[in-house]
Amino acid sequence: NAGVTQTPKFRVLKTGQSMTLLCAQDMNHEYMYWYRQDPGMGLRLIHYSVGEGTTAKGEVPDGYNVSRLKKQNFLLGLESAAPSQTSVYFCASSYDAMNTEAFFGQGTRLTVV
Amino acid sequence: AQSVTQLDSHVSVSEGTPVLLRCNYSSSYSPSLFWYVQHPNKGLQLLLKYTSAATLVKGINGFEAEFKKSETSFHLTKPSAHMSDAAEYFCVVRPNAGKSTFGDGTTLTVKP
Residues A44-60 have pLDDT tens digits of: 999 999 999 999 999 99
The pLDDT of residue B4: 92
Whether residue B74 lies within 8 A of chain A, CB to CB, comes out as no
Asked if B102 and A42 come within 8 Å (Cβ–Cβ), the reply is yes
The pLDDT of residue B98: 58
Contacts of B9 in chain A (CB under 8 A): 40
Helix then strand then coil, % of chain A, to nearest 5: 5, 50, 50
Whether residue A97 lies within 8 A of chain B, CB to CB, comes out as yes
Angle, alpha carbons B26-B30-B33 (nearest 5°)? 70
Q: Closest partner residue to A42 among B41, B90, B99, by Cβ?
A: B90
pLDDT at B111 over 90: yes
With a cut of 50, list the residues of chain A below it in pLDDT: none
Q: What is the pLDDT of residues B16-68, one digit of tens each?
A: 999 999 999 988 777 889 999 999 888 899 999 998 778 899 999 999 999 99
* B63 phi/psi in degrees, rounded to 5: -80, 150
Terminal alpha carbon distance of chain A = 35
The pLDDT of residue A99: 61
Asked if B98 and A33 come within 8 Å (Cβ–Cβ), the reply is yes
Shortest distance between the Cα of B51 and any Cα of chain A, in A, equals 6
Q: How far is B26 from B74, CA to CA, in rounded Å?
A: 11
Shortest distance between the Cα of B28 and any Cα of chain A, in A, equals 14
Q: What is the pLDDT of residues B64-106, one digit of tens each?
A: 999 998 999 999 999 999 999 999 999 998 876 557 889 999 9
Closest CA to A109 of A6, A40, A26: A6
Asked if A33 and B100 come within 8 Å (Cβ–Cβ), the reply is yes
Contacts of B43 in chain A (CB under 8 A): 4, 90, 104-107
Asked if B34 and A43 come within 8 Å (Cβ–Cβ), the reply is no
Q: Closest partner residue to A31 among B42, B49, B98, by Cβ?
A: B98
pLDDT at B9 over 70: yes
